Amino acid sequence: MYPDFQYLFQALLGHDMPSWLGIFKTFGFFVALSFLAAARAMTSELKRKEAAGFLKPVLKKMKVKAKPTSENPNPVEEERMVLVPIHMLMTEIVFAAAIGGIIGAKFFNAFESWDDFNFASLLSPSGLTFYGGFIVATAVLAFYARRYKIPFRHLCDAAAPAIMLAYGVGRLGCQFSGDGDWGIYNSAYITQADASLRASTPEDSKLIADYTRFIPSKSFPAPAGVPRWMVAMNYPHNVACEGRVVPEWSRPYNTVLPVAVFPTPIYEALLGISLFGLMWAIRKKLKYPLHMFAMYLIFAGTERFFVELIRVNAKYDFGFVKPTQAELISVILVITGVGILLFYRKKETPEPPAHHSFE
């Protein structure tokens, strides 16, 4: 794995790199990239909706430069209410969603792992729960839309493909850094002394049992034609520092998982980016507002529910069923999305775009 740019460039260039590159983390890089990609996609969709007449400019107090006059040839900037196209508020929207998302992700992660909770963990860069971030970020955007009288249904539709893209790109950060967000053990492969993987044998059963005692496992050899890394990885140099220590490796990332795990970040990255492509292709064909957002809820909920089947997460004990937090939220999202598609059919007539000026 490549927890920071020092490890990444060493792998790419084949020789040692200066340690100061370690301050640049791959996880943070992909998170930033995910926000940039989402902002680009959402801006494009907002412009399309503005051009179609579904979104009108909003009044907002901004600093503008007055026109020069004979009495005042060098006017200074002054605050005034002006009409601003919604896509030009993208920086504010992304910033508000990012702050709300990070807060929600931290607190939902605390609820999910309450036994290990401490206040210091809220300040840690690790430990983020996507659904917590999604729920709180949506609430923040609803407040923002209400404040500026932006139709929230169209804001949701414009954001839906962007959120899916951000999720897929963000999962690449989980994969590259090895942040512990992987699946259950795949006992078909174990790690050798040199940290490489090999197929397990019956003689390895006791060793595997010792390592997988408290975590679910499944033996799944790679099918013919499928590369092994698609079903089994041992995440050497993972940023979570989980697994056994390899003495020959320098600190701080000197661990490797003793038994392979399913690389669920790869699955989610591929699914997220692919589903974004599908949503982007059909976005102009949906007749009713909120239906694109409903498609996101269904896709995101279904994808996460099935991935949770091979992930390691805390479970709630309801006696007859023991779901994870993500499974519960996934079911709610899918039901909500299906309900919107079936019962929300309010078709809107676009209005002529309003004239706006920054003068």
Written as six digits, the tokens of 308 are 């949770």
Amino acid at 241: C
Give residue limits of the domains in the chain: 26-64+78-179+266-343, 185-259
Q: Which of 307, 301, 281 is nearest to 341 (CA)?
A: 301
Per-residue pLDDT at 350 exceeds 80:
no
Mean pLDDT value across residues 320-329: 81
For residue 314, give the DSSP letter. -
Q: Which of 236, 303, 237, 313 is nearest to 267 (CA)?
A: 303
Task: Please confirm whether the linkage preceding 202 is cis (ω < 30° from 0).
Answer: no
CB burial of residue 303 (10 Å; 0-12, 13-18, 19+): buried
In the chain, the percentage of residues whose pLDDT exceeds 70 is 86
Residue with more model confidence, 349 or 302: 302
One DSSP character per residue, 170-205 reads HHHHHHHHT-S--BSEEEEEEE-TTS-EEE--GGGH
pLDDT (tens digit per residue) in 176-233: 999 888 999 999 999 999 999 999 999 999 889 988 887 788 999 999 999 999 999 9
pLDDT (tens digit per residue) in 74-90: 766 777 788 888 898 88
* Predicted model pTM: 0.85
**Residues 313, 301: Cα–Cα separation, whole Å:** 16
